[in-house]
Amino acid sequence: MNEEQFICELAGHGIELGEKQAGQFRRYYELLVEWNEKMNLTAITDKDQVYLKHFLDSVSVAFRTSFEGPLTVCDVGAGAGFPSIPLKICFPELRVTIIDSLNKRITFLEELGKELDLDHVRFVHSRAEEAGQNPEFREAFDVVTARAVARLPLLAELCLPLVKEGGRFISMKAASAGEELEEAAYAVKTLGGRLSDSYSFLLPVEESERNIFVFDKVSKTPKKYPRKPGTPAKQPLVK
């Protein structure tokens, strides 16, 4: 998928990019490739593939769920900035916080934010479990996103404590995610969430399956969650 196809695909979903935004995506690609030579940010460096599998895939979460307005968005384990930075480029009013446990990725993201001239973005070096117990971040965000970070029962414990009541947790998955959704039902309920939408679609060109799960935060997360770093991975909340 080249740049023109990418812009047309977004326009087909009601997302119109201006020249500044198109330029930000071009610069994003250049920096991704440049920094990838120094650290392992992504296995995908071909330009058409980056536009399809990173940029379009990230923005696809907004095809059915609104990201209009000055929403506070927290991206857990964003790696090289996906999905939150492409969303921020498309919806400049978003106020984005990225939480990542690897400091060198935070260094890249800070440089990326400066180069792309992004305002209202902050990059936090922290484990998600620690952030979820930090009063600054706990139940503070309208939307929390995670893209291909972990299995859903674990992901729910990392993300739902960060979502404010009335907010949303959005999990982006590849193929065959239905089993994870069933497995996560107990964790989601325990942590104050409720499934409000789930949908599958095929990425254009290669037609690979994607699944998006949207959970509403309907009640506060019990204070004991998230548990200490490492515990949710070793003992996920499954029944």
**Residue list, annotated binding site for S-adenosyl-L-methionine:** 77, 82, 128-129, 147
Rounded CA-CA distance 233/222 in Å is: 18
CB contact burial 120-158 (16+ within 10 A = b; e otherwise): ebebbbbbbbebbbeeebbbbbbbbbbbebbbbbbbbbb
| Binding site per annotation, positions | 77, 82, 128-129, 147
Other Cβ atoms less than 10 A from the Cβ of 39: the count is 12
Rounded CA-CA distance 72/180 in Å is: 27
Q: Outline where DSSP puts E strands in 113-178.
A: 121-125, 141-147, 163-173
What's the gap between Cα 145 and its chain centre?
4
Q: Are 173 and 180 in contact (CB under 8 A)?
A: yes
Rounded CA-CA distance 41/64 in Å is: 28
